Amino acid sequence: MSAPDFASLGVTARLLDALQSLGYEQPTPIQAQSIPLLLEGKNLLGTAQTGTGKTAAFALPLLSRLDPAQRTPQILVLTPTRELAIQVAEAFQGYARFMKDFHVLPIYGGQDMLSQLKALKRGIQVVVGTPGRILDHLRRRSLNLSELRAVVLDEADEMLRMGFIDDVETILAETPATTQRALFSATMPPAIRRIVGNYLGDASEVKIENKTRTVERINQVYLMVNSRHKLDALTRILEVENFDGMIIFVRTKSATVELAERLEARGFAASALNGDLNQQLRERTIDRLKKGTLDILVATDVAARGLDVDRISHVINYDIPYDNESYVHRIGRTGRAGREGKAILFVTDKERRLLRSIESTTRQPITPMSLPTGQQVSDQRIQDFQQRIVKNLNAEGLEKFRDLLRAMAREQDIDIADIAASLAMQAQLERPLFPKLAEIRSPVAAPERKPRPPVREPEVAVGKREPRKRPPAHSDFPELKMERFRIEAGRNQGVQPKDIVGAIANEADIESQYIGRISLHDDYSTVDLPEGMPRDLFEHLKKVRVCQHPMNLRRIDITENVGIPGEGDKPPRRKFTGPEASNRKSARSGPRKRKAESNAGKHPRR
């Protein structure tokens, strides 16, 4: 039995033209099963991993049923992050490129509210947004859902992890009872099942099993390297690897720009791809990669979602992902269209546990690689140099230069080989053929540690203990050791746990399941994050705002009297040094001093 195409699934002619122009050929399994059900108007529960084509699975059938005459919103898509909202809105715009008077609007926090209000007033058929900003518009009565035909929850489990599930239920309650509903999620925890029971009724279920964790054609290797040597190691790899197109993954938006600029300064055609790029610039950057005028993209996980470029032969994980699924999605960007692909993972000494965890998830070994030597770099440069010379032998006008050099050799009584050597030396000054490279040593292997006991499920503490309002973070990854950080904003500033999760997950691209226990106090909060946070990520988080207040993030001793349930809002015990410590010491009496010292640091760890 032949595989279905989009026409046989019932997709309209205008959408088929758009799919052809976008290069779509055969539907993916999730699309083949979901499109007919949604075209029939049924509610749908889809279980599939990111990267399986979910956006087209719901966008195509819903666009096929769109009423072009209706100016109020007909389709509402809820997404967990602003980057995903932009991506989904771009996808809708691409599929509807041949539909007249079609308008889609991405709505998310941090965007100018006035421009959103104007767009909604003009008339929008499809709204894609994050729960918080959608709820803001509902409260303002600027978003009219009375004639809504369909609502989609994309990556529902991620919205649950980020603490948005209450907002989602509030929004769903505002939609008409006749609205068609679709929910897509990689996992189905109890809270998501509750929403399905309350709002999706007898939904048809589509489940796509993830049969292969990684593409078999991808050669996976890792390099042990110190953080301070990463850039030099990357440069050597780029020198010797025979790559066509490449994506280099980093954790933060700022790192994409910084690394791309450094690579450009070293002569590589590189550009940043992150959530701050507008749609036009993003499309232009990806188009340059497709056409070959750009060779390297430096990207974050979220910005690279849905990116499908056949010429990507290599993926480099410059920063190892905290989430194993992110690793799978990253390396899946190569090895396309039956081609071989290569994935290189940079691992620091502190990240060995993450490497083993990735191998366990992918069920495939990642083999170690050696850093290219100076001789290898030199050999590759010489080979490139020779190829350029041979290529120029067929160039027009070469005879004039032959005559010039022959005349010079006669007049100066110089051997023609010496002239050629002098010219070669001059031509290689910017890229020396015999470079003297700094020595880069691999980190010394640390002794294997015994497995740590499972990390206890995190809980949100607000003064007195309250029921946990979000699911366990990092409970499935007990190998991660956590550090505690203080944030200079608390209850008095209107901060809620979901605000902290959203700020860290969105602005720093830290996966939400790696955000641990959160404690709220009057004027500050604490949060547990994975140990060994890179310095650039730490500096970036310092500047991030939560509820319009700078985080001013700083590490604290996890045994300090900060954020421990039952301790109220006592400030952390201040540690005195120098003259201040001497004055304080002399002011304390003997027995009282000894009692205070004997009890110091005995607060229970929970």
Q: What does the alpha-carbon distance between residue 504 and residue 529 come to, in Å, rounded to a whole number?
A: 10
pLDDT tens for each residue of 214-242: 456 789 999 999 888 899 899 989 988 88
pLDDT at 242: 87
pLDDT tens for each residue of 174-209: 999 999 999 998 888 888 888 998 998 889 999 886
pLDDT at 442: 59
Q: Rounded to two decimals, what is the model's pTM?
A: 0.48
Higher pLDDT pick, 602 / 232: 232
Q: What does the alpha-carbon distance between residue 575 and residue 161 come to, in Å, rounded to a whole number?
A: 36
List of domains in the chain: 6-207 (3.40.50.300), 218-371 (3.40.50.300), 378-388+402-439 (no CATH), 461-576 (3.30.70.330)
Residue 349 has pLDDT above 80, yes or no: yes
Fill in the DSSP letter of residue 72: S
pLDDT tens for each residue of 244-257: 899 999 988 888 99
| Contacts within 8 Å (CB) and 24+ apart, 11-17 | 11/35, 11/60, 11/61, 11/64, 12/63, 12/64, 14/96, 14/98, 14/99, 15/60, 15/63, 15/64, 15/95, 15/96, 15/98, 15/99, 17/98
Higher pLDDT pick, 561 / 336: 336
pLDDT tens for each residue of 113-135: 888 999 999 999 999 999 999 99
Residue 287 has pLDDT above 50, yes or no: yes
Q: Which two tokens stand for residue 82?
A: 């602003």
Q: How far is CA 202 from CA 205, 495, 512, in A?
A: 9, 38, 30
Residue 362 has pLDDT above 70, yes or no: yes
Residue 446 has pLDDT above 60, yes or no: no
pLDDT tens for each residue of 295-325: 999 998 777 766 778 889 999 999 988 767 7
Question: How would you class 316 by CB atoms within 10 Å of its CB: exposed for 0-12, middle for 13-18, buried for 19 or more?
Answer: buried
Residue 61 has pLDDT above 50, yes or no: yes
Share of the chain above pLDDT 90, in %: 30
In this prediction, residue 586 has a pLDDT band, given cuts at 50, 70 and 90, of: very low
Question: How would you class 276 by CB atoms within 10 Å of its CB: exposed for 0-12, middle for 13-18, buried for 19 or more?
Answer: middle
pLDDT at 267: 85
Q: What does the alpha-carbon distance between residue 61 and residue 68 come to, in Å, rounded to a whole number?
A: 15
Number of helical (H) and strand (E) elements in the chain, helices listed first: 22, 22
Provide the mean pLDDT of the chain: 79
In this prediction, residue 498 has a pLDDT band, given cuts at 50, 70 and 90, of: confident
pLDDT at 462: 42
pLDDT at 143: 94
pLDDT at 32: 92
Higher pLDDT pick, 401 / 212: 401
In this prediction, residue 23 has a pLDDT band, given cuts at 50, 70 and 90, of: confident
Phi-psi region of 170 (alpha: psi -120 to 50; beta: other; left: phi over 0): alpha
pLDDT at 461: 44
Q: What is the mean pLDDT of residues 527-549?
A: 81
Q: What is the mean pLDDT of residues 388-415?
A: 84
Residue 432 has pLDDT above 90, yes or no: no
Residue 468 has pLDDT above 60, yes or no: no
The H-or-E segment that residue 600 falls in is none
